[in-house]
Amino acid sequence: MSFQRLDQPAAAAETCRRWRDEGATIGFVPTMGALHDGHLELVRRAARENSRVVVSVFVNPLQFDDPRDLAAYPRDFAGDCAMLAGAGADLAFTGDILGFFPEVDDAREIEKVDPGPAARELEGAHRPGHFDGVATIVRRLFDLVRPHVAYFGEKDYQQTLVVRHVAGAHGPRVVVVPTVREPSGLARSSRNERLDPGLRARAAVVHRALRAAADAFARGERDRVRLERVLSDALASEPALAIEYAELRDPASLAPLPARVPDAGCRALVAVRLGGVRLIDNLGLAAEPS
């Protein structure tokens, strides 16, 4: 089957409806474009597990708290489509905000979707309204595509909890794919392209800090304050880096942890700024296998 690209969400919805009627299973990968190998790994996984793979490419203005960040976000639908066709996608579609929400005449009239309790802190606190915008577009995308399975990257860990909340009991099955990393350990992200080579090398400290906390936990450390200090001290070893947060949280809810971290483990989550570029990453902390 040849790869299709569409610039109207309604046309994409009709194609997906026809495929479902023909008995196809649809794997869906929502993106904002500026694709890299992390996105393509989601597509490859979807292609292995479904008979049709659909990708949305849409820079969603509802989830940007900074208009400058929205304006600076790279857009290259043709280039993204070339990459998607090579990775096994069957359809990529885009559109403008009113194409996704044709029931309104002004984007300010769009009714926001509740992103759930996991959205309240961390990214939710540092980027007010961000997860409202994520939940709103994800719900609309799920309604348009009606996929059987939706694929998201673990790098945006908090977002995956929001997506699971939006999917609920009647939405698609949500598959979270492990973070794809550069050789240095830096998580793949479109924002990495805004780092010059020197800063990109320095940014590897983020993964090293997460690994340091994970190693301390695996060796038996359970004191939350000491584990968070391991994390923050490792980050602070890079003087060019500014820490927004570096915390351990419950992996299922992102609720704060007690003073003693449970033996079952937790999630370490980090947001930093380096050279004016904001980077996020996370890692699960687990005990050594017995």
Positions annotated as catalytic residues are 39
- One DSSP character per residue, 233-271 reads HHHHTSTTEEEEEEEEE-TTT-PBP-SBPPTT-EEEEEE
> Is there a contact between 278 and 272 (Cβ–Cβ < 8 Å)?
yes
Phi/psi for 139 (5° steps) reads -60, -45
Q: Among 97, 89, 94, which residue's Cα sits nearest to residue 76? A: 94
CA distance 137 to 119: 15
Q: Are strands 173-177 and 149-153 parallel, antiparallel or unpaired?
A: parallel
**For tokens 């610039």, what's the residue?**
7
